[in-house]
Amino acid sequence: MSDLSWLTAQPIAHRGFHDMNRQRWENTLAAFEAAVDHGYAIECDVHLAADGVPVVFHDETLERLTGREGRVWQLSSTELAALRIGGTSQTVPTLAQVLERIGGRVPLVIELKGVAGHDSGLAEKVLACLAAYEGKVALMSFAHWIIRELGANAGGWPIGLTAEGRSAADMEAHFSMLAHGLSFASYNVDDLPNPFVSFLRERLSLPVITWTVRNREAMERTFRYADQMTFEGFSP
């Protein structure tokens, strides 16, 4: 496996270095530029727009971030680009625009948000966007079907499982995904420690990052049981 030390070398700004959506909103070019300015890695979320273009947006629905009713997959990337995030001048960027803006200056962790029946081809489209990108990128998802698609086609990009839970059923589900070429995991900090995370780190020597760290207690838990944090709401 290739060296993944870059994934855990610096704190990862959750949806960019936003200010909890007061003035600088999540998953905007402004939040990503602020993360670069502070030397943080960046986590972002990707859905498919109606025209099959990967766009950077967390929610399946539009209302919380744009004030408009509807769902991401119902609008084209051009229509999404006309919406204002939080009433600011920022709009919904495409993944291609985010990659161009970051330009390899800091690592990028992309979470693929799978909406069954509407995000078919998401993995393929994201990988196509990355074909000429020369920066450091890791890909991850909660959705097992996306992990399987990525594992079959990733072409060298590290693939991670976004996960949570401590139950026996959770552990069984997570361990089953090791058959699909995982390189790391991103785990809910509130669910540490657990056997899956311990196995990844101690038996497989795979890195684990956490989500989402918002206070010192969670930061301390991260570095007790994992390797790096995905944070928001403060400056590490």
Burial class (CB in 10 A: 0-12, 13-18, 19+), 164: middle
Distance CA 54, CA 45 (A): 10
Of all residues in the chain, the percent with pLDDT exceeding 90 is: 93
Q: How confident is the model at residue 236 (pLDDT cuts 50, 70, 90)?
A: very high
Mean pLDDT, range 193-218, rounded to an integer: 98
Burial class (CB in 10 A: 0-12, 13-18, 19+), 65: buried
Q: Which two tokens stand for residue 194?
A: 């657990």
Residue 126 reports pLDDT greater than 80:
yes
Mean pLDDT of the chain: 96
Its pTM stands at: 0.97
Non-local (6+) Cβ contacts of 200 within 8 A are 182, 184, 185, 206, 207, 208
* Residue 129 pLDDT: 96
Please provide residue 21's backbone torsions phi and psi, each rounded to the nearest 5 degrees.
Answer: 65, 35
Distance CA 157, CA 151 (A): 9
* Residue 192 pLDDT: 98
The number of beta carbons lying within 10 Å of the beta carbon of residue 33 is 17
Q: How confident is the model at residue 155 (pLDDT cuts 50, 70, 90)?
A: confident
Tell me the pairing of strands 12-14 and 54-56. unpaired
Burial class (CB in 10 A: 0-12, 13-18, 19+), 235: exposed
- Quick: pLDDT tens for 91-109: 999 999 999 999 999 999 9
Q: Which two tokens stand for residue 95?
A: 């993944």
Q: Among residues 6, 12, 93, 13, which one has the least CA distance to residue 56?
A: 93
**What residue ranges do the domains of the chain occupy?**
5-231
What CATH homologous superfamily does 5-231 map to? Phosphatidylinositol (PI) phosphodiesterase (3.20.20.190)
Distance CA 179, CA 161 (A): 12
* Residue 156 pLDDT: 86
Strand (E) or helix (H) holding 83:
none
Residue 151 reports pLDDT greater than 90:
no
- Map residue 140 onto helix, strand or coil: strand
